[in-house]
Chains A and B, each alone.
Chain A
Amino acid sequence: MALISTRDFSFAFPGAEPILHNVNLSIDEGGFAVLLGPNGSGKTTLLQQLHPVLAAAGERSGDILWRGESVSRETSSEVARNIGFVMQRPESQVVTDKVWHELAFGLENQGMSSDRIRQKVAEIATYFGIEGWFDKDVSELSGGQRQILNLASVMVLDPTLLILDEPTAQLDPISADNFILMLHRLNYELGVTILAAEHELQKILPNATQVLLLSEGELALSAPPQQAIPEIMERYPELAPALPVSAQIYAAAAHNGVSGSSDVPGENATLSPLSPSAQSAVPLTVGEGKRWLNSVLPAAEPAGGMAPSPVVSGANSGRDMDGDIAAATDITGKEPAAIRAQEVWFRYDKGSPDLLQGLNLTVRKGEIFALVGANGSGKSTFVSVLSGVQRPYRGRIELAGTPLKKFAPGALYRNFLGVLPQDPQTLFVQKTVVGDLEDVFPKRGVQRDEMSSAILSGAESLGLMEVLERHPYDLSGGEQQLTALLKVLLLKPQILLLDEPTKGMDEAAKSRVIAVLKALQKRGVTVLFVTHDVEFAAQCADRAGMFFHGDVVSEDRVGPFFSRNNFYTTSASRIARDHFPMAITKDEVIQCVRKQMTL
């Protein structure tokens, strides 16, 4: 019997258009359901409606059933106790100041005795590996730790159903992986039923038992992953880029041209070598993808193991097809340096450790440079040092040949240096998105129509047209990030520093950002971004560097950079490196696979 289900459930906020139409979903006890859907499809509203206490007021019709019985006014509080809810932003759902107190909070609400609370808190802290930071202040934790704490302080109440609203959207990939592994453990070991909204499916889908797709307020699909994936590929190609890379490569090879890059010559080639495996399961993980690729391609050349060999022709042609990258590498040697950091040392206090230790970096004009590295390694500190907010105690920073110190405080950020900080909300000061964007322009001396055309064309290219009149805080995390980026871009910077620009974005938004940054690059704008998102870095940047121990180590063009890395690299490269060592993005791998098939 289903644990929770809905029968023709519709919902509208008071005085607004219905946001959910006749939703019929059903989640079995012990299941792991993933809810997907584009931004603004009503995912959050649906999840909140399922929780009797969090359900917003509005017009409802239809039923929500708990173990087959309609949830009524009398049973609602009992149902609420059986549902745990984890929200998107890790900071704002923490109630108290201490980790141990946060864990005890829900139990205190039940009026449980101190002894019993001690037992339960001890048990949950051990299970979640919290013992090491049990006595800490919540403000000392990292984002990933905080989200694990949120999960633990919900799980301590023994919920039967755990609902999560994009729980990893604000986390770096390593913390996100940890979090998803923890969800998998809860489901696998404890049998907790899970319903999670996510748009990054790479890691979560292999563990899921059910995929739910919400499209414009309707439940468009509800099926196990193996059935859901082909259907999403076919009916919702705009959502396909969010699927696991293995599945995408598989599908592109099997269906030949479904997943976007149909500009490849020879796409009509027959795929007879694939047909036996096409009937087998869709590969979801990197390992499955690797096995599938081995089964359909001739064995990899044994010598190719050590160095990326240029012999593998498919890979090279894949790279060469990208004219932008080839052109950009040609200019990098000659162009003047836009950003130059020479032996930069920085620490916050006298006693604290050096976060930048003799850092050297040169980014040339018109280049897109990606700086990748772990959380808390000091990447964001480097951005604030480059942007002149923090001053290095030793070393030299030049922007476009001029020492940073020589810039007047007002002149630096006007039409010269654009900085996108990590938290987009800190940029918003107005009540609507469009008001916030207009706020960038000075009150006098700007033509109204010039201003609105700049805003509209920017909003168009980043896909923000539909949210212009909304309050910035009502946008999804990804939309907030896009709005903040646009706000910075409206200042017409020549040098752009971006701190985690893709946090919370779905794949469609990411590809719009890439297009916008590449267009800026053609106009000679220099971009340096700091990111955990290796897939984005591989697709967007010309060169990349690894931030480690206060310095940039192993900087190179993205191709060699990621194909040389074994751990910090893209999923596509992990899957296909035995066959195509130089192919690092999934499009490149797809092209290589196609080429190989047609030979």
Chain B
Amino acid sequence: MTRSRDSFSMSHPLVNFAFFVAVLGMSMFCLHPLILGISLVSAIVYGVVLRGWRHMAKLLGVFIVPGVIVVAILNPAFNHNGVTLLFTMNDGNSVTLEAIVYGVVLAATLAVTTCWFVCVNAVLTRDKFVYVVGRPFPTASLILSMSFRFIPLFLRQFHLTTVSQKYLGRDMSSARWWQKIKIALSVTSSMFTWSMENAIHVSDSMQARGYGQYHRRRSSYSPYRWDRRNVVLLLCVVVLTAVSLTASLEGGLAAQYDPVIVVSGISGASANLWTWIGAGAFALLANIPLAIRCTDAAQWRRYERSLNVGGSQTSTGRIESAWR
């Protein structure tokens, strides 16, 4: 599976941003188990597509599963609300069924959010993030961009300076503590001078290229294009979100864990039409990235096949590519 060419990652940052806001928002505020389950599965599948199953398995095994267990255990230990008393602890506090269930739901929300953030990191790269921030606040985006330029430069210089001081016999690892303080001070002073010097050069370079020299307002360029495909994608996100929200407002996705568990379709309330509409819309929403990835892959296969039919390749070649 190729990880590099992800159709959703290649679409406009605003589409990416809208999608993640919608999905994360729904997952965090609508605590219906159906939504959480759909969200978790979609996030894991998309995460595997983007980063590989090893990465996701490691994340799940090392971080998410233990985290989920801790939260699920800790919640009933501190939260004693709920009507179904299971047993009373030694210190007199009661453990309730509702608290346990709520703990599990909280833990699931945590897991869902973490998994989605793996995808956010892979899709909403740094420059897209700068762009999204820069739409309403152009100055902030310039500052962000300059910081992203400066931070690696600073870290590199810091590393080089430490090494150079080592060459001069000032090695942190072998020094006594008072020598360490001295070395740290001289590295800090060197870095300070360097930063000031760098700032002067950058400011000269900015002014020489007209920064602050024009009366007109600065514009903000981005290499992203807003085309029909992005409009369609954004519409899908908006419509599906609207449908899920409506379903939620209509009570189809009601979920309450305290003091009584009322979850439509599972306990305390029966499932209605809105439950299925809401869950369906959300399932579609959460799988938009996978869906367009699959459609694009299918489109490419059709395209390849059409080339083969065109004649230059043999029939075996055609059969092979069909099997692929």
Residues of chain A whose beta carbon lies under 8 Å from any beta carbon of chain B: 51, 53-54, 77, 80-81, 83-85, 87, 89, 91-98, 100-101, 104-114, 117-118, 121, 135, 137-139, 150, 153-154, 157, 384, 387, 389, 408-410, 413-414, 418-419, 421-423, 425-429, 439-440, 473, 487-488, 491
Contacts and interface: CB of A to CB of B under 8 A. Distances in A.
Given A77-B213, A80-B210, A427-B164, 13 more contacts: A95-B149, A96-B146, A101-B127, A105-B206, A110-B216, A111-B214, A111-B216, A150-B205, A410-B169, A414-B169, A427-B167, A428-B190, A429-B165
B186 A429 contact: yes
Contacts of A97: 126-127, 130, 145-146, 148-149
B197 A473 contact: yes
B214 A118 contact: no
B201 A92 contact: yes
Contacts of B58: none
Interface in B149-185: 149, 152-153, 156-157, 160-161, 163-169, 171, 173-175
Given A53-B207, A92-B201, A429-B190, A108 B220 contact: yes
Contact of B193 (A89, A96, A422, A428): A428
Nearest to B217: A111
Contacts of B173: 409
Contacts of A440: 168
Interface in B225-282: none
Contact of B163 (A83, A154, A421): A421
A244 to B, nearest CB: 31
- Nearest 7 pairs of A and B residues by beta carbon: A111-B216, A92-B201, A93-B205, A106-B209, A97-B148, A426-B164, A97-B149
B126 A408 contact: no
Contact of A109 (B146, B175, B197, B214): B214
Contacts of B160: 421-423, 426
A409 B174 contact: yes
A191 B126 CA distance: 39
Nearest to B201: A92
Contact of B221 (A104, A418, A425): A104
Interface in B135-153: 142, 145-146, 148-149, 152-153
Chain A interface SS verdict (over half): mixed
Given A94-B149, A111-B217, A423-B160, A413 B168 contact: yes
Given A54-B208, A413-B168, A440-B168, A426 B190 contact: yes
A473 B168 contact: no
A423 B164 CA distance: 9
B176 to A, nearest CB: 11
A121 B223 CA distance: 10
Interface string B110-144: 00000000000000001100100000000000100
A109 B193 CA distance: 28
B16 to A, nearest CB: 16
A315 to B, nearest CB: 40
A157 B145 contact: no
Given A85-B208, A108-B219, A487 B168 contact: yes
Contact of B171 (A93, A153, A157, A410): A410
Contacts of B212: 109
B194 A419 contact: no
Contacts of B167: 387, 413, 418-419, 421, 427, 488
Contact of A53 (B165, B194, B208, B218): B208
Contact of B210 (A109, A114, A425): A109
Residue among A51, A421, A426 with the highest chain B CB neighbour number at 10 A: A426
Contacts of B217: 111
B190 A96 contact: no
A53 B202 contact: no
Contacts of B221: 101, 104, 107-108, 112, 114, 117-118, 121
Given A121-B221, A491-B169, A153 B209 contact: yes
Contacts of B186: 429, 439
A31 B96 CA distance: 87
B192 to A, nearest CB: 10
A389 B145 CA distance: 32
B164 A106 contact: no
Nearest to B208: A85
A213 to B, nearest CB: 25
Contacts of A93: 201-202, 204-205
B222 interface: yes
Contacts of B206: 95, 105
Interface of B: 126-127, 130, 142, 145-146, 148-149, 152-153, 156-157, 160-161, 163-169, 171, 173-175, 186-187, 189-190, 193-194, 197-198, 201-202, 204-214, 216-223
A54 B207 CA distance: 8
A106 B221 CA distance: 11
Chain B interface SS verdict (over half): helix
Contacts of B126: 97
A91 B163 CA distance: 20
15 contacts: A54-B207, A92-B201, A95-B149, A95-B206, A96-B149, A97-B126, A97-B127, A101-B145, A110-B219, A157-B210, A410-B171, A413-B167, A418-B167, A423-B164, A425-B190
Nearest to B169: A413
Nearest to B205: A93
A80 B208 CA distance: 7
A427 B157 CA distance: 11
Contacts of A473: 193-194, 197
Given A92-B201, A93-B205, A429-B186, A389 B216 contact: no
Nearest to B149: A97
Contacts of B194: 425, 473
B163 A426 contact: yes
B190 A413 contact: no
A87 B201 contact: yes
A139 B164 contact: no
Contacts of A418: 167
B146 A117 contact: no
Contacts of B153: 91, 139
Contact of A113 (B163, B169, B193, B219): B219
A112 B210 CA distance: 12
Contact of A89 (B171, B189, B201, B220): B201
Residue among B148, B149, B160 with the highest chain A CB neighbour number at 10 A: B149
A419 B160 CA distance: 13
A183 B157 CA distance: 30
B113 to A, nearest CB: 28
A96 B147 CA distance: 8
B168 A427 contact: yes
A421 B127 contact: no
B149 A92 contact: no
B208 A92 contact: no
A106 B210 contact: yes
Contacts of A488: 167-168
Contacts of B168: 413, 427, 440, 487-488, 491
A117 B218 CA distance: 12
Contacts of B175: 410
Given A110-B210, A426-B164, A429-B190, A95 B202 contact: yes
Contacts of B174: 408-410
A550 B156 CA distance: 23
A87 B204 contact: yes
B135 to A, nearest CB: 12
A111 B210 CA distance: 10
Contacts of A95: 146, 149, 202, 205-206, 209
A138 B153 CA distance: 10
B149 A111 contact: no
B152 A139 contact: yes
A118 B142 CA distance: 18
Contacts of B169: 410, 413-414, 491
B222 A114 contact: yes
Nearest to A443: B182
